[in-house]
């Protein structure tokens, strides 16, 4: 069965799968409009697959922010596949490209895309990332999802550097209907987080979502503060935090990669949330992150609403990228 047909079947089997593919399709419309129309043009221009074809393909992938290293690897693999399958017609390459994209994402190691949430104990998730990337919004969206699943959730406002950040988290707490632990702006974030852990324990919460500052006087201070916050959590609950999620803004392109390098050098980042994929035509950044950082993208933000956060799914992502072609199958 062709790969496109497989994807089409997968995402039309159940109502739930269908909903997921619809979200990705809507969220990736900017990337799809730009990326697939370029691929279609390329295929129309070159009937046969030759060196020039691959050079132009490289250009398209780089423009989609896939990242130079990833593009080189991908194109090498495509060339091998073209030889192996004896592909002559460039139109036949569209499916191979999509299949390879899924493979790249799946990778060759066992980093899990699942979020580590304990079944019968308090799970603590720490959110880190620079200002404005969508940390608070992501915490709100995740609180909503977890609550839908029947979990008791508590939020803690660890970004004490900016008064607005505390208020914003409170707004989300009210919207979703979960408790928010806070102190006045300017308080010691580690002390607020400590309060958050105590409150979550005494209220019998299942999950504690911790917001942190994205900006301090300087980067060293910020990284020291994050380490301190992490130590406080570890001391209170052995094995916690169960996840350290780095929030990155997809619209910042390659800059997101350098932020990831800075944060993962000083905190043990266990996963990435890539926000605002709906706001960029360069959604290829997901692949660059996966390939170059070896940190799994666990969630993607596909819009500003409460239910616009989805678990990252490589197949659904590729479905979103090639939806027009897949649906013609």
Ligand X SMILES: Nc1nc2c(ncn2[C@@H]2O[C@H](COP(=O)(O)OP(=O)(O)OP(=O)(O)O)[C@@H](O)[C@H]2O)c(=O)[nH]1
Site residues for ligand X per CB under 6 A: 129, 131-137, 159, 165, 168, 214, 275-276, 278-279, 301-304, 308
d(CA 242, CA 247): 16
CB nearer to ligand X: pick between 129 and 283: 129
**Strand ranges for the chain from DSSP E:** 123-128, 153-158, 179-181, 207-212, 243-249, 271-275, 297-301, 309-311
User: Minimum distance from CB of 279 to ligand X (Å)?
Assistant: 5
299: alpha, beta or left? (left if phi > 0; alpha if psi -120 to 50): beta
Binding-site residue ranges for GTP: 129-136, 211-215, 275-278
Contact (Cβ atoms closer than 8 angstroms) between residue 165 and residue 187: no
H helices, E strands: number in the chain = 13, 8
Least separation, in Å, of the C-beta of 319 and ligand X? 18
Q: How far is the CB of 122 from ligand X (least distance, A)?
A: 23
Asked whether the beta carbons of 308 and 125 are under 8 A apart, the reply is no
Q: Hey, what long-range contacts does 59-65 have (CB within 8 A, 24 or more apart)? A: 60/35, 61/284, 63/38, 63/282, 64/31, 64/34, 64/35, 64/281, 64/282, 64/283, 64/284, 65/253, 65/254, 65/280, 65/282, 65/283, 65/284, 65/285, 65/288
Task: Choose between 98 and 136: whose C-beta lies nearer to ligand X.
Answer: 136
In 3D, which of 20, 12, 265, 285 has the Cα closest to residue 133? 285
Contact 259, 34 (CB under 8 A): no
CB of 229 to ligand X, least distance (A): 15
Q: Residue 207 or 273: which CB sits closer to ligand X?
A: 273
Phi, psi (rounded to 5 degrees) for 5: -65, -40
Closer to ligand X by CB, 134 or 189: give it.
134
CB of 81 to ligand X, least distance (A): 33
Shortest CB 2 distance to ligand X, Å: 32
Give the nearer residue to ligand X in terms of CB position, either 7 or 222.
222
**Closer residue to ligand X in complex, CB, 136/145:** 136
Question: d(Cα 209, Cα 61) in Å, to the nearest integer?
Answer: 36
Q: Which is nearer to ligand X, 241 or 279 (CB)?
A: 279
CB of 65 to ligand X, least distance (A): 16
Binding residues: 129-136, 211-215, 275-278
| Residue nearest ligand X, Cβ-based | 301
């Amino acid at each position: 069965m062709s790969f496109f047909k497989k994807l089409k079947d997968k995402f039309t089997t159940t109502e739930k799968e269908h909903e997921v593919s619809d979200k990705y399709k809507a969220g990736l419309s900017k990337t799809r409009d730009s990326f697939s129309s370029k691929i279609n043009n390329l295929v129309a221009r070159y009937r046969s697959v030759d060196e020039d074809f691959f050079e132009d393909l490289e250009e398209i992938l780089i423009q989609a922010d896939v990242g130079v290293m990833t593009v080189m690897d991908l194109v090498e693999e495509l060339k091998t596949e073209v030889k192996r399958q004896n592909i002559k017609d460039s139109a036949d390459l569209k499916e191979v490209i999509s299949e390879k994209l899924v493979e790249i994402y799946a990778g060759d190691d066992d980093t899990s895309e699942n979020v580590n949430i304990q079944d019968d104990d308090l799970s603590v998730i720490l959110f880190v990332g620079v200002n404005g990337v969508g940390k608070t919004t992501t915490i709100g969206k995740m609180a909503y999802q977890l609550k839908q699943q029947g979990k008791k959730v508590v939020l803690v406002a660890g970004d004490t550097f900016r008064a607005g950040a505390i208020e914003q988290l409170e707004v989300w707490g009210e919207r979703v209907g979960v408790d928010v632990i806070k102190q006045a702006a300017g308080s010691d974030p580690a002390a607020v987080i400590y309060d958050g852990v105590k409150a979550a324990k005494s209220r019998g919460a299942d999950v504690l979502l911790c917001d942190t500052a994205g900006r301090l006087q300087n980067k060293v201070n910020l990284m020291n503060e994050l380490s301190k916050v992490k130590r406080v959590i570890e001391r209170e609950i052995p094995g916690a935090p169960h996840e350290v999620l780095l929030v990155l803004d997809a619209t910042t392109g390659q800059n997101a990669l350098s932020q990831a390098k800075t944060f993962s050098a000083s905190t043990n980042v266990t996963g990435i949330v890539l926000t605002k994929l709906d706001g960029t035509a360069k959604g290829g950044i997901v692949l660059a992150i996966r390939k170059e950082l070896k940190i799994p993208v666990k969630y993607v933000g596909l819009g500003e609403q409460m239910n616009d956060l989805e678990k990252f799914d490589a197949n659904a992502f590729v479905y979103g990228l090639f939806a027009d072609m897949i649906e013609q199958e």
